[in-house]
Amino acid sequence: MKREDGDRLQKGLAPGARLVSREGDLWRWDGFVARSEAPKPAAVRLEQRARLAEIEAEIDRRTPQAEAAGKAHRDATGRLNTAEAALRDARRGPVDAERILGSAREVVERLDREASRRDARAQSLDETIARFDAERLEAEEALNAAQAAADGQGASQDQTSILAEARTAAGKARETAAAARTTLDVERRERAGRANRLESLIRDRGDWTRRAEGSGKRMDALTADRAKADAALLAARDAPNALEGKMRGLLDQFSAAEARRAKSSDALAAGEALRAETDRAARAADAAAADARERRAGIAARLEAAGERLTEVTERVRETARVEPEALGKQLAEEAIAVPPDAAGMEAHLYALERERDAIGLVNLRAEDEAREHATRLEAMRTERADLNAAMVKLREGIESLNAEGRERLLAAFEVINEHFRTLFAALFGGGQAELRLIESEDPLEAGLEIYACPPGKRLSTMSLMSGGEQALTASALIFGVFLANPAPICVLDEVDAPLDDANVERYCNMLDEMRRRTQTRFIAITHNPVTMSRMDRLFGVTMAERGVSQLVSVDLQTAEQLAAQ
């Protein structure tokens, strides 16, 4: 059909009928019209979602570039700060070296002057010693001569006085010579020390000279590095502007994308609302059409049954009255208009009524019995319905009672476990606080469970924000809290101490000992930690003494300790 005829022909459509044009337009009997050129809501939504996905992909693609640029800028700034600090240190180095070198030169000059003065004094002391030696020799010669004369001529009073004077002069000369030698030795030692000190200062001056030369070279290298750092700084200073421009562009694109996304979201929401309303209208129309179809099917079934009944009645009329139903109808109409007053007419009319009665069929003599049976069954069904309603009420009451008791028991167990959890958490962490909370619903039977923990020095947060070791200790505290509330004979702990350090492993083992003492529970710990294994009563392991042959090995540590103690 043609498109221009659709609106005109739609008014005459039967329920459930549809019209489709060659161009793809649709007209439905309930007034719905779909144009072929109109965009479909699903297509619009898909286009909007595709555009939103492209924008999000572009943002995800540009985000690493922005982060890399920011990181490069931070690295360049860090390198520049390091270079500036090194340059400041290098600038202070030559100044300190020059100051130390000047001090060393002053010390060398002072020591040179002191060495010259001491050399002059040593020379004068050498001359004094030589003179004293000559005088001592003359005194010794005079003493020898006097002794010889005294031996040859005899002891006299004059010679004795001369000898005494000579001996006194010789003793003084000896003392003076000894003091001069001592002074000479001291001076020689001081001269040797000054010479060594001078050599050391000369070596130090050479070292400082070399250091000054190295500092100069280092200054040149640092100057070149500073030039490079300045160039890098200029490039890094330009990079933030370019990155800022890119970021502004990306932010503008992101803002535009957000605006488009918001607009698309609004349009999508409006389309979803329209679609929902259309779907509701379509479902209502489909329900109405289904009802209409059911009514039409019922009417058709009744019509068919009525046709079959009419055919059957027609056949019975033909068989009984030997006339056509139309003729019988005319006859009955005539008889109804005027009943014959005479006896023959009345008899004929009576005969006709009897034939009609016979045509009606046999009388059901058990109708009253069947009515009573149906009434009895109906009463039994009503009784059963009342019993079912009463049972449902009792069942609901039982469920409510069970739910109430379950809530009470759950809250009581929750409070006990929460209190044990707080105590064990503080014991394991050496402080802090923790608690269990019911979330997402006020009904404890439908609520979820969230663990909030706060180790010492941290803020209270959920367990998912904690580290691996903290999560392991928190989970251990919760498990032990449950065991304190309802102990079990056996508990298996699989690699619980894997993320813990040695200090926390000790706390964990202490807690195991305390739990074993309080609950009489047998703990089976699967572990590779030597600290945990050393605290166990018995160890079980698998070894391969021969290649391909595994063997189970067990060690009773308590018995081993007793044997070692003996």
Print the SS3 string covering 76-129: HHHHHHHHHHHHHHHHHHHHHHHHHHHHHHHHHHHHHHHHHHHHHHHHHHHHHH
Tell me the C-alpha distance between 132 and 402, whole Å. 131
Query: Looking at the structure, do residues 541 and 514 belong to the same domain, yes or no?
Result: no
CA dihedral of residues 475, 476, 479, 485 (deg, nearest 10)? -120
CATH of the domain at 487: 3.40.50.300
On whether both 436 and 335 belong to a single domain, the answer is no
Percent of the chain exceeding pLDDT 90 equals 2
pLDDT at 363: 66
Q: Could you give the CA distance from residue 454 to residue 460 in angstroms, rounded to a whole number? A: 4
> Is the domain of 540 the same as that of 458?
no
Is 19 a member of any domain?
no
Best CA proximity match to 472, nearest among 448, 493, 449: 493
Of 10, 43, 15, 12, the residue nearest 25 (C-alpha): 10
Q: In which region does residue 552 sit, left (phi positive, over 0), alpha (psi from -120 to 50) or beta (all else)?
A: beta
Please answer whether residues 530 and 502 qualify as being in contact, where contact means their C-beta atoms are separated by less than 8 angstroms.
no
Phi-psi region of 412 (alpha: psi -120 to 50; beta: other; left: phi over 0): alpha
CB-CB contact of 411 with 444 (8 Å): yes
Q: Kindly state the tokens that stand for 199.
A: 């050599």
Same-domain pairing of 330 and 448: no
| Confidence at residue 394, expressed as pLDDT on a 0 to 100 scale | 92
202: Cα within 13 Å, side-chain hemisphere: 7
Torsion of CA 230, 233, 238, 241, to 10 degrees: -150
Q: How far is CA 410 from CA 94, 400, 413, 422, 424, in A?
A: 79, 15, 5, 18, 21
Question: Do the domain assignments include residue 442?
Answer: yes
In this structure, the answer to whether residues 476 and 559 fall within a common structural domain is no
Please choose, from the candidates 373, 326, 328, 372, the residue with its C-alpha nearest in 3D space to the C-alpha of residue 352. 328
Cβ proximity of 191 and 183 under 8 Å: no
Listed residue (279, 222, 234) closest to 94, CA to CA:
222
What is d(CA 552, CA 555) in angstroms, rounded to the nearest whole number? 10
Q: What is the mean pLDDT of the chain?
A: 76
- Indicate whether 540 and 519 sit together in one domain: no
Q: Domain check: are 474 and 437 in the same one?
A: yes
Query: What's the rounded Cα separation, in Å, for the pair 520 and 540?
Result: 21
> How far lies 80's CA from each of 70, 72, 229, in Å?
15, 12, 6
Which pLDDT score, from 0 to 100, does residue 205 have? 75
Q: How far apart are CA 542 and CA 531, in angstroms?
A: 19
- Return the amino acid letter for 77: T
Residue 26 tokens read as: 């649709």
Q: Are 451 and 554 in the same domain?
A: no
Q: How many domains does the chain have?
A: 4
β-bridge mates for residue 540, sequence order:
554
Structure tokens at 513: 């000992």
Task: Output the pLDDT for position 495.
Answer: 87
pLDDT at 147: 67
> Would you state the pLDDT for residue 506?
87
pLDDT at residue 480, as a whole number: 86
Q: Is the dihedral of CA 94, 97, 98, 99 positive or negative?
A: positive
On whether residue 517 sits in a domain, the answer given is yes
Identify whether 444 is part of a domain.
Answer: yes
Instruction: State the pLDDT at residue 170.
Output: 65
Residue 446: helix, strand or coil by DSSP? coil
564 and 433 both lie in a single domain = no
- Vertex 52 angle, CA 48 and 53, to 5°: 115
**What pLDDT digit, counting tens, does each position of 1-25 carry?**
667 777 777 777 777 777 777 766 7
Summarize pLDDT for 31-89 with one digit per residue, the tens: 777 776 665 666 666 666 777 777 778 777 877 877 777 787 777 777 777 877 777 77
Which residue range forms the structural domain that includes residue 108?
A: 56-244
Q: What single-letter amino acid sits at 143?
A: L
CATH number where 87 lies: 1.10.287.950
Residues (pLDDT < 50) of the chain are 154-157, 337
From 244, 262, 281, the end of a domain falls on: 244
The distance from CA 537 to its chain's CA centroid, rounded to whole angstroms, is 37
Question: Which one of 227, 244, 261 terminates a domain?
Answer: 244
pLDDT for 328 equals: 66
Note whether 547 and 491 are same-domain residues: no
The answer as to whether 260 is a domain residue is no
**511 lies in a domain?**
yes
Express the helix, strand and coil content of the chain in percent, nearest 5 each: 75, 10, 15
- pLDDT recorded at residue 155: 47
In whole angstroms, what is the distance from residue 56 CA to residue 428 CA? 45
What is the pLDDT at residue 156? 47
Residue 151 lies in a domain: yes
- On whether both 206 and 68 belong to a single domain, the answer is yes
Q: How far apart are CA 15 and CA 293, in angstroms?
A: 9
Q: How far apart are the first and last CA of the chain?
A: 111
Q: Tens digits of per-residue pLDDT, 160-213? A: 666 667 667 766 767 776 777 777 777 777 777 777 777 777 777 777 777 777
- In whole angstroms, what is the distance from residue 162 CA to residue 107 CA? 55
For residue 215, being part of any structural domain is answered with yes
Q: Based on the domain organization, do 416 and 492 belong to the same domain?
A: yes
Contact 216, 28 (CB under 8 A): no
